[in-house]
Amino acid sequence: MKKYQALPRVAISNRKWPDNTITREPIWCSVDLRDGNQALAIPMNVEKKLEMFQLLVDIGFKEIEVGFPSASKIEFDFIRQLVDRKMIPDDVTIQVLTQAREHLIRKTFEALKGTKQAIVHLYNSTSPLQRKITFNMNKEQIKNLAIEGTQLVKKLVMTIPETHIRLEYSPESFSDTETDYALEVCEAVMDVWEPKEQNKIILNLPETVEWGPPNIHADQVEWFATHLKERDKAIISLHTHNDRGSGIAASELGLMAGADRVEGTLFGNGERTGNLDVITLALNLFSDGVDISLDFHDLPRIRQSFERCTGMYVPPRHPYAGDLVFTAFSGSHQDAIKKGMDRRGSNPSDDSLWEVPYLPIDPRDIGRDYEAIIRINSQSGKGGVAYILSQNFGIEIPKKMQPDIGEIVNRYSDELGRELESEEVHQLFLKNYIVEDADLSLKSFITQTINRTIQCQAEIEYKGKIMTVKGEGKGPIDSFVHALGNANLKDFKIIDFHEQSLGTGSDTEALAYMELQTSKGHVWGVGIDSDISMAGLKALISAINRMN
């Protein structure tokens, strides 16, 4: 096929990035108010922009691109509001974008008057496609645009001496520009700007369109970083897009290849398929044990603010933030998650290693809870049902009983054709296993101890007939089983029995589980009572009733 062709490979030997590990966070720059905003069908108004700016400050961004002040009045007015209302914290640097055109650069500087510090982000397109189709310029002419733009920025810095100006330069469409030519243009900009180690220039390498796989992007970044003269006077920045669905991977590999900084947006909002999702990248690093300065401890609140300001929707499978990303419906997943959570215990140390299958991070670290980790439908398994009953109702189903309750719940969900709520699972458990007034019911039960033997007298109703039965044994349950045998009502053998407390303090109840072997198979019953012996008797009666 000749219509499409692969992105050319970079001539790089002995590449180092595949063996590198990211051990510290990059410099983070949000471009939500520019790149993200311009991608909205209905751009944010000033009020929403102000809310978004405050959200980004609260998250901890120290560099925030606030707009393209020469592009529209609302962009210009918004920046002036930030300055005039003194809304920019002292430790936050705003960034403004401008093309390398004189009247746009001058308008940009008008917007910056009164700021303490700012980054002027200058750019022009450098790729062969842009040179040929958009600008009809050769390489030298394109480079001169960058040089002349930088010269003007340097000159205009003197007009606002109260503001510390840093320069960021982007060879737009770096990803499909000849890498050696992109380097040539960036070095020409550096020659004009004359950066210092204490005041570095930012060289931003935009993957304006993701034309190739992330490993090619990493090769481009490593080649650029290793060939750049005066590397110690430059911060290499990344600005990836997501046209091929690997924008996050491209940024991660680009950091491994030597980049120092990333630009992106919350939830990847941006043109076409979006920008780098800085939340996902940051939490990827966090899950690898890297300390991050961005605060996502209440990610649901961040998501709500984002959706309100942008009108966008975070889908349920979006990494970390989606409604379903920490949720398992599959039985095998649920079982593994339950085992992992059980192993951690109820009060694990904050420093204990997170080891829960299928959950890359602890949901509580980002403001999620455990209630929705496991949800029940017809595909769910025994472990999922047991987890719901344990977490939400304190009911600890014995392992041998879990397949039994799992089958009941799955069958019911399949009949309804929908997911079940936790309370529905709870009610199914109670309805199916606590059966105390069917064929057999207990009216009264009296015991006495003689020579370490428990003797009982019980009044029962069996299939509508009231009778008194007597028996003896090692305990109340044993004596009652013996009494039923004396009345020719015993056609079973007890093969398993478990007890647990339910609740705390004065509200504590005992919950008993009993498994019987009968001529028809195995059956479970459950009993609940404030008296532990009576709970066991009720479990036995429930099992007998379920047996018939």
Rg (CA), the chain: 34
For residues 80 and 231, give the distance between their C-alpha atoms in angstroms, rounded to a whole number. Answer: 35
Report pLDDT for 542: 94
Report pLDDT for 1: 63
Asked, for residue 294, whether it belongs to a domain, the answer is yes
Q: Are residues 392 and 525 in the same domain?
A: no
* 3-class secondary-structure state, position 438: coil
Would you state the structure tokens that stand for residue 35, as one six-digit string? 């790149």
Read off the pTM.
0.82
Domain C-terminal end among 410, 432, 454: 432
Q: Are residues 424 and 358 in the same domain?
A: yes
Query: How far, CA to CA in Å, does 441 sit from each of 171, 235, 479, 499, 519?
Result: 83, 80, 16, 21, 21
Report pLDDT for 346: 66
Q: Are residues 416 and 497 in the same domain?
A: no
Q: Are residues 426 and 444 in the same domain?
A: no
Q: Are residues 473 and 524 in the same domain?
A: yes
Asked, for residue 2, whether it belongs to a domain, the answer is no
> CATH number of the domain that 283 lies in?
3.20.20.70
Report pLDDT for 225: 97
Count structural domains, the chain: 3
Report pLDDT for 347: 66
Q: Are residues 485 and 337 in the same domain?
A: no
Report pLDDT for 383: 80
Report pLDDT for 350: 67
Q: Are residues 271 and 244 in the same domain?
A: yes
Q: Are residues 152 and 296 in the same domain?
A: yes
Range of the domain at 259: 17-310
Domain C-terminal end among 432, 466, 495: 432
Q: Are residues 249 and 106 in the same domain?
A: yes
DSSP per-residue string spanning 25-84: PPEEEE-IIIIIGGGSSS---HHHHHHHHHHHHHHT-SEEEEE-TTT-HHHHHHHHHHHH
Instruction: State which residues of the chain have pLDDT below 70.
Output: 1, 346-350, 377-378
Q: Are residues 379 and 501 in the same domain?
A: no
Asked, for residue 209, whether it belongs to a domain, the answer is yes
Q: Are residues 498 and 408 in the same domain?
A: no
Q: Are residues 422 and 452 in the same domain?
A: no
Asked, for residue 318, whether it belongs to a domain, the answer is no
Asked, for residue 325, whether it belongs to a domain, the answer is no
What CA dihedral angle connects 57, 58, 59 and 64, to 10 degrees? -10
Of 367, 377, 400, 402, nearest to 387 (Cα)? 402
